[in-house]
Amino acid sequence: MSRPYFRNSLLLAAALLSASPSDAARPQKPAREPIVITSSRMEADKLGDRVTFTGNVMLKKEGMTISSDTMVVFYDVGSKDIREIEAQGNVVVRKEGRIALSNYASYYSREEKIVLTGDARIIESQNQLGGEKITLFMRDDRSIVEGGKVLLYQEKPDHAPEGKKRK
């Protein structure tokens, strides 16, 4: 019997895959906030090196959410830490009042960066920024847009400046 909806913590899965009896003797790493992914279906390949989520996929991590149709999580073979996450189809990234949209996104865990392609754009208030490729650096709160265009809205003055007539 399958469950129509389940909740999965990737950090817990990574910990279970990499746990060993000597873990208690190792110095503790700084606590990290878990990555939590929810979806309608999950499928693990290659003994946990790759996990595919499909159907209403939602990733939550440190004030950021990523939703998509499909998401594939790749683990580092040695450490079993998350190396990369690929999201495909109706990708929406939300963080601190900004929304980024694309058809495809790759999240690189070590660099804390997201690369958006396929009708990639960022929306903040009424302003939009679009490009062929947008790279978001999450730690630095900055981005690089390649092959892009910007649509900015400015407030219109209520009246024309002194000595000039409006046409």
Only one residue has tokens 């580092």, namely 76
Q: What is the pLDDT along the chain (167 residues), one digit of tens a residue?
A: 333 333 333 333 333 333 333 444 444 545 567 889 999 999 988 666 899 999 999 999 888 999 999 999 998 888 888 899 999 999 999 988 889 999 999 999 889 999 999 999 998 887 888 999 999 998 888 888 898 777 766 666 666 556 555 55
Instruction: Decide if 56 is inside a domain.
Output: yes
Instruction: Decide if 137 is inside a domain.
Output: no
> What is the distance between the alpha carbons of residues 106 and 138, in angstroms, rounded to a whole number?
13
Instruction: Decide if 22 is inside a domain.
Output: no
Give the range of the structural domain holding residue 73, as residue numbers without chain letter: 6-15+34-116
> What is the distance between the alpha carbons of residues 32 and 34, in angstroms, rounded to a whole number?
6
Number of domains in the chain: 1
Kindly state the tokens that stand for 151: 């649509």
Q: What are the residues whose beta carbons fall under 8 Å from the beta carbon of 111, sequence distance 6 or more?
A: 137
Instruction: Decide if 135 is inside a domain.
Output: no
Instruction: Decide if 86 is inside a domain.
Output: yes
Instruction: Decide if 62 is inside a domain.
Output: yes
Indicate the pTM of the whole model: 0.71
